[in-house]
Amino acid sequence: MTLVAILSGAGISTDSGIPDYRGPKGLWRRDPEAEKLVTYDFYMGDPEIRRRSWQMRRNSTTWRAEPNAAHRAVAELDRRDGVAVRVLTQNVDGLHQLGGMPDRKVLELHGTARAVTCTRCHARSSMAEALERVEAGEEDPPCQVCGGILKSATVMFGERLDPVVLGEATAIAKASEIFIAVGTTLQVQPAASLAGIAAEHGARLIVVNAEPTPYDEHAAEVVREPIGTALPELLSRLASGPSGG
């Protein structure tokens, strides 16, 4: 059984209509102010930032997005005999699961946009439910359990990754025989370091990204082609011969 770990970033979801963050047309480049909306201290300290954040969530392209060929190719590889796939994703859109990957095989390093959590009592509920309240006129809906401030169940700037999730991801990186970093600039730590950890432990590292990354020099293969076609081709090749050819 060959363990294939796939670290996915925003670039895998751009074909689904979800903009990336740091690419040439990325969200942070187009609107540096938008970064405040997902920065924990700003969010907790400013009701106006929270109101704007809820409007941003309400209008997010995520809710209309469908899995694309790259997401489906990952799920297809997982169904092949002799291959075990684990997805370590920096994305919060849930498209890997919608594309057919079992929930238990996807580690969401930065959380999920499809749920909300209370910053006081940590009660968790669905984003859809919270957005219904926003639609009904609540500009900054409080927790219905304790009245605390609600936030998306994503890791905001200024928050730590869940140590349990990161520990599991690190173990998978160390155990993987093939590690594919796709659609990620490999600049956001600690998620980016998983590529280096995998390579150090003997994995064949493959980078699929439009722009250079800090880990390209450690990669056995670097693919610059569009992800929607390049990843399905690469995974098909792996499926027919897990060593890559």
Distance (Å, whole) CA 186 – CA 63: 26
Determine what percent of the chain is predicted with pLDDT higher than 70: 93
- Output the pLDDT for position 23: 53
| Buried-state track 145-172, b at ≥16 Cβ within 10 A, e below 16 | eeebebbbbbbbeebebbeebbeebbeb
- As assigned by CATH, the class of the 19-64+111-154 domain is alpha beta
Torsion of CA 2, 235, 173, 192, to 10 degrees: 170
Q: Do the strands 2-8 and 106-108 form a parallel or antiparallel pair, or are they unpaired?
A: unpaired
Q: Do the strands 124-126 and 111-118 form a parallel or antiparallel pair, or are they unpaired?
A: antiparallel
- Output the pLDDT for position 26: 53
Convert the pLDDT of each residue in 56-104 to its tens digit.
999 998 999 999 999 999 999 999 999 999 999 999 999 999 999 999 9
Residue 70: half-sphere exposure toward Cβ, Cα within 13 Å: 26
Judged against a pLDDT cut of 60, whether residue 201 lies above it is answered with yes
Mean pLDDT of 129-136: 98
Convert the pLDDT of each residue in 15-69 to its tens digit.
999 986 655 555 555 666 788 899 999 999 999 999 999 999 999 989 999 999 9
What residues contact 58, with CB distance under 8 A and at least 6 apart? 131, 134, 135
- Output the pLDDT for position 188: 86
User: What residues does each domain of the chain span?
Assistant: 1-18+66-110+160-245, 19-64+111-154
Q: Which among 57, 136, 69, 134 has a CA at the least distance from the CA of 93? A: 57
- Output the pLDDT for position 21: 60
Choosing among 3.40.50.300, 3.40.50.150, 3.40.50.1220, 3.20.20.210, the CATH entry for 1-18+66-110+160-245 is 3.40.50.1220
Which two three-digit tokens encode residue 30?
A: 């187009």
Mean pLDDT of 193-197: 96
Q: Do the strands 204-208 and 221-223 form a parallel or antiparallel pair, or are they unpaired?
A: parallel
Catalytic site positions: 110
Cα 240–chain centre separation: 27
Q: Do the strands 2-8 and 178-182 form a parallel or antiparallel pair, or are they unpaired?
A: parallel
- Output the pLDDT for position 27: 56
